């Protein structure tokens, strides 16, 4: 997946779709962003109008959570991050558990975070 830049509004729309759209009408946020998100294959719109997240959309949200997790740990090693994010970042050798709880960012994690920041993501 090439590095697409998404606005906070687009991430909000993806999160809203992930939670499930209640009723017949979509929110203004989803409405504003559905064309671009559909074009990028992050969401699919069924013939009946039902909007759902694609696997690529799920992956995009997960990677966003990983980036936010790295940033949180950089700011405060005792930051809470979700278990699935911690497991993924640990397997990729981006974070190292601290004996007293929390995590440290590894050199590899720092390089990745610097790369992410340099790309403006």
For the stretch 8-22, pLDDT in tens is 999 999 999 999 887
Of 26 and 4, the one with more pLDDT:
26
Beta bridge partners of 45: 51
pLDDT above 70 as % of the chain:
97
Report residue 81's pLDDT band, with 50, 70 and 90 as the boundaries: very high
Query: How large a percentage of the chain has pLDDT more than 90?
Result: 79
In angstroms, rounded to a whole number, what is the distance separating the alpha carbons of residues 80 and 113?
A: 18
Whether pLDDT at 116 is above 80: yes
| Predicted local distance difference test score (pLDDT) of residue 105 | 95
Q: Report CA 54 to chain centroid distance, whole Å.
A: 14
Residue 1 has pLDDT above 50, yes or no: no
Is residue 2's pLDDT more than 60?
Answer: no
Q: Is the pLDDT of residue 97 over 80?
A: yes
Would you say the C-alpha torsion 27, 71, 58, 82 has a positive or negative sign? negative
């Amino acid at each position: 997946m090439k590095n697409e830049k998404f606005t906070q509004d687009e991430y909000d729309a993806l999160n809203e779709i992930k939670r499930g759209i209640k009723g017949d009408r979509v929110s203004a946020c989803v409405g504003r962003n559905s064309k671009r998100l559909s074009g990028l294959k992050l969401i699919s719109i069924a013939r009946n109008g039902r909007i759902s997240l694609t696997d690529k959309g799920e992956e995009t949200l997960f990677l966003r959570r990983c980036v936010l997790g790295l940033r949180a740990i950089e700011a405060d090693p005792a930051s809470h991050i979700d278990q699935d994010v911690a497991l993924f970042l640990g397997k990729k050798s981006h974070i190292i558990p601290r004996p007293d709880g929390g995590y440290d960012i590894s050199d590899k994690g720092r390089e990745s975070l610097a790369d992410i920041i340099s790309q403006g993501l």
